[in-house]
Structure 1
Amino acid sequence: MKPQVFALWAALCAAMLAASCAPAPGGDGPLRMGEVAEPPGLNPLVFDNATVFYLGPLVHGYLLDADGEGRLIPALATAVPSIANGGVSRDGRTVTYHLRRGVHWHDGAPFDARDVLFSFAAVRNPNNAVPDRTGFDHVASVSAIDPYTVQVRLTQPFSPFVPSVFTMGANDPYPILPAHLLARKASLNNDPYNAAPVGLGPYKLVSWQHGAKLTFEADAHFWRGPPAIKRIDLESVPSANTLQTLFQGHQIDVLVARTTGGRVFYDAIRSVAQTHTVLKPHYEFDFVILNQAHPPLDDVRVRRALAYGIDHVRIMRELNGELFVPGDSDRLAGQFAYDPAIRQPPYDPGRAAALLDAAGWHLDGGVRKKNGRPLTLDLVSTTESPTTGRFDLLAQQQLAKLGIRASEKSYGYNVVWASAAQHGINQTGRFDVEYSGWQPNAVADHSYLFRCDTRPPAGDNLARICDPVIEAAARRELQAIDPAEEASGDRAISRRLVEQSDLIFLGFNREAVAYRDGITGIVPSVLGEHLWNVYAWKRTP
């Protein structure tokens, strides 16, 4: 998923499920939820927004869902295509989807292959402001073999294709859209549908009081069966502190303390009476970006000195407490391509100093200098994130002991992540070091963060890495048909990133999912997509 998952209110632990009214009754009473930021719309195809993606499973349907462990499971497609079941051809160039029969849109229209064909066309339509077309850019053709069979031909094998396309586990999880309502539209960017979607999900939007509340009602014809909870109210809540107070007062039902900066919030809600709190490891990995377009960070010795010189494990434990999960790469233990042999440099300021000396940066009056020029770095953080600011402060103190002058520069989240045309900090490269995070969802490939062809403004390789070893490993991974070969290429990328200290991996976190007694069926997700099975949630009197 795009970096909005590591977004403004994620950093404040504020993208939460909550409610802001009186205690909800049991039985058939509404489940009251809340968000500190109202979504700009409810069509994930044209809004690159964490809240829009997060709420998608309420309203929309996908070819494949992803369960609590991040595994793809059948949804509108009756099977996950693979070579073993014949859904993927042996040359990796053809993918076949068998569609579920008897499914209906919220307005009663039948779902079939026409909707899938239209959805592919909508993503590929250059008039639509689609956040990311990864996977779709490898499609040569899409055709309907019959009303319930769709065949996709690829320009070349692309190992992440199945998880990337119309699945709940995609980096950007786009849903299937209704051809009968949208096929004649030249563009969907400003279409009224975006604020009043007709979907295939378990709930349908019945009202939207902008700035106040969205109301969803269970679709009695949902293909998995009608949801037990008949109504969900999603209300705008002024702040994370307000959400915390409401949960403590039993005025909200379900709350999610997002990964980054969640320690204080978690400590406040974990002991609330008559509630349950579950910690779930999360695939989102945090890391320090080292901008290689800025000397001296183009020197591997300087980058490695930073890796030795910042005690990132201690800092992350201090920031996130029990929510912190150590990690030396972009993979959690047990995740695809995880390699326990990959280890980052441990905290060792002595070795850091030796590397800086070897690179020509010598201490002079307590400051590292080379040819009379001091070693200075700009550490970027976002004004909305106390976690990134606190990390920068602690790292700044440790770098000062090495003789490195590091200054913190804080910008608004929207300024940091704005496009190059809007002079965004990341896209224009106006930083040296930056704390960031990435939520990859179920897609195994992360090479788009590290390849030469994805350096800004062409993509999200914000460290500006361009390494022939990584390029070769990425080609091997992306064109692999054998999962073992795919994993081998992926591990080679991770090893090289650590060997070259292209960035500093900071580990992972657990998300705290809290809910009131009497609510059952909640299965927290390693992808952070905790609404993945909202259709199965129930509440008792």
Structure 2
Amino acid sequence: MLVKFLQAAALSAMFAAPALAAQDSITLGMVLEPPNLDPTGGAAAAIDEVVYANIFEGLTRIGPDGSVKPGLAESWDVEDGGKAFIFHLRPGVTFHDGSPFDAQDVIFSLDRARAADSTNAQKSLFEGIDKVEASDPLTVRVTLKSPDGGFPFKMAWGDAVMVDQANIPDIATKPIGTGPFRFEQWKQGDHISLTAFDGYWGIKPALARATFRFIPDPTAAFAAMMAGDVDAFPIYPAPETLAQIQADPRFKVLVGTTEGETILAMNHENPALANVKVREAIAHAVNRQELIDGAMFGYGTPIGTHFAPHNPDYVDLTAQSGFDPERAKALLAEAGVQNLTLRLALPPTPYARRGGEIIAAELRNIGIETQITNMEWAQWLEQVFKNSDFDLTIISHVEPMDIGIYGRKDYYFNYDNPQFDKVIANLAATTDPAQRSVLLKQAQQVIADDYANAYLFQLAKTGVAKAEIEGLWQNAPMPANDLSEVHWTE
């Protein structure tokens, strides 16, 4: 009997062995489905949340601590006082279709991004480029019109990743990059799946497969986590349930920071909003803490300008636009504004939908009515971001170090301030870190003084995951779900 028992136990262990093997797949939840998968031709952060550092890579990359690290360029030299950057490319890199990556791909990618007909959402990243040349297949020289100490940082954005010319006709739906994962499938409205790329030049990822599931409803997101239908939700949309998840030993909660300045953007083409007194009144009408507590369940950091509080150059200007409804009413009276009604366009993110109702009530309290329109993401991108057809909107700007958008005359909120433009021009021409710090602080002060928008809070990164998962970013120095170091513990 003992022999038979041991034999049975051995057989049981043998057949159970596969279940004990290290798990090599992961399912991530996402609130928004990307409109396409081309980070060089779309503005939606959801694109980078799928493809950045997974499918596509740039010459440089942003690490989880926000630092600039080597990417497809293993190193670079700076010449001519910051007007020229020589990038030394990694040897042996191939695209997912097997074609080699070399200097000609860099020239194509950068020239495409800065072309007159480019659809790149961040064309300003490339405006300073004068020419891109190859001295050999693994060496690229980028000559700038003027010195730019921040150029390696610009090349780390998702908008600056390297692309394959042959893939351009299909890049939006079947992207081909050089990253550790290749595109496998996109089931519209449901999920995108990636598989590990066997020919990856770097350290092979522990994961063999990754699936991004789109779950926009907070209640459904909570249900999916509790049922085990998703393994992690890096940006979890139901903060009201975090305490419940934290108390469950199956899960862990990852609370960090993001680059997401959440703002009440104002369209300066609206005659009323072109008046700084009206903009200041709107800013004073908003109770930031009420907004954070009501829309974000206490998660978020108040901000008074368009800059991340975790950045060493941040200036706390929240007091300048503090909650003061009586001051707001007085400013509207000084501006001669009565019976003002503004259109408030809200994208589908929970912070916008919840926050919009709170802000509408706060504006009503000072005599401004709002007409709320709840938009799907594609509609918001087309109507608000592309065509500037709105008065107010709530949105988190999650791009890293993006205060320069206030110098873009074609940007959706149509801000124009020569004083700000001068500061940004000086910043672009400055390579000394101490001087750049001074200029960044000046830039923050200018837009705060001008009440360019109403600055609400820095979006917190509240993520949830199964307890056995390691390697997810706790902070979000840019919108990304970098899976290169994600793994399951045994």
Same fold (TM over 0.5): yes
Closer/same/farther in 2, CA of residues 50 and 111 from structure 1, 3 Å limit: same
Moved more, 287-296 or 516-525: 287-296
Local SS of the residue matching 1:142: strand
Aligned partner of 1:538 in structure 2 is: 487
8 Å CA contact 1:65–1:75 kept in 2: the answer is yes
Structure 1 residue 208 displacement after superposition: 4.9
One of 275, 300, 307 as aligned partner of 1:324: 300
| Whole-Å separation in 2 of the counterparts to 1:126 and 1:471 | 22
| Whole-Å separation in 2 of the counterparts to 1:243 and 1:349 | 36
Aligned partner of 1:459 in structure 2 is: 411
Q: What percentage of aligned pairs have identical amino acids?
A: 19
| Whole-Å separation in 1 of the counterparts to 2:450 and 2:115 | 39
Query: More helix per residue: 1 or 2?
Result: 2
8 Å CA contact 2:346–2:394 kept in 1: the answer is no
| Whole-Å separation in 1 of the counterparts to 2:191 and 2:371 | 38
8 Å CA contact 2:260–2:308 kept in 1: the answer is no
**2:346 is aligned with 1:382:** yes
| Whole-Å separation in 2 of the counterparts to 1:59 and 1:122 | 19
Q: Deviations over 1:207-232 (max 9, x none)?
A: 55566554432223322222122222
Aligned partner of 1:4 in structure 2 is: none
Listed as ranges, the matches of 1:453-492 within 5 Å are 454-455=408-409, 458-460=410-412, 462=413, 464-492=414-442
8 Å CA contact 1:282–1:525 kept in 2: the answer is yes
Q: Deviations over 1:434-466 (max 9, x none)?
A: 32321122xx35122x23xx33xx223x0x332
**Aligned Cα root-mean-square deviation (Å):** 3.0
Aligned partner of 2:372 in structure 1 is: 409
Local SS of the residue matching 1:58: coil
One of 305, 327, 336 as aligned partner of 1:351: 327
| Whole-Å separation in 1 of the counterparts to 2:488 and 2:109 | 35
Structure 1 residue 356 displacement after superposition: 3.8
Structure 1 residue 285 displacement after superposition: 0.5
One of 266, 270, 274 as aligned partner of 1:298: 274
8 Å CA contact 1:290–1:297 kept in 2: the answer is yes
Closer/same/farther in 2, CA of residues 27 and 355 from structure 1, 3 Å limit: same
Closer/same/farther in 2, CA of residues 126 and 430 from structure 1, 3 Å limit: closer
TM-score (norm: length of structure 1): 0.78
**2:372 is aligned with 1:394:** no
Listed as ranges, the matches of 1:120-519 within 5 Å are 120-126=110-116, 129-165=119-155, 167=156, 170=157, 172-178=158-164, 181-182=166-167, 188=168, 191-208=169-186, 214-235=192-213, 239-258=217-236, 262-264=238-240, 266-267=242-243, 269-340=245-316, 343-357=319-333, 359=334, 361=336, 374-382=338-346, 384-385=348-349, 387-402=351-366, 404-414=367-377, 417-419=380-382, 424-425=383-384, 429-441=388-400, 444-448=401-405, 450-451=406-407, 454-455=408-409, 458-460=410-412, 462=413, 464-519=414-469
| Whole-Å separation in 1 of the counterparts to 2:94 and 2:132 | 22
8 Å CA contact 2:249–2:467 kept in 1: the answer is no
| Amino acid of the structure 2 residue aligned with 1:409 | I
One of 105, 130, 139 as aligned partner of 1:115: 105
Q: Give unmatched runs, 5+ long, in structure 2.
A: 1-18
8 Å CA contact 2:57–2:178 kept in 1: the answer is yes
Aligned partner of 2:16 in structure 1 is: none
Count of aligned positions? 471
| Whole-Å separation in 1 of the counterparts to 2:107 and 2:71 | 17
Local SS of the residue matching 1:279: strand
| Whole-Å separation in 1 of the counterparts to 2:452 and 2:176 | 45
Closer/same/farther in 2, CA of residues 150 and 251 from structure 1, 3 Å limit: same
Local SS of the residue matching 1:380: strand
Closer/same/farther in 2, CA of residues 397 and 31 from structure 1, 3 Å limit: closer
Closer/same/farther in 2, CA of residues 379 and 512 from structure 1, 3 Å limit: same
Closer/same/farther in 2, CA of residues 382 and 117 from structure 1, 3 Å limit: same
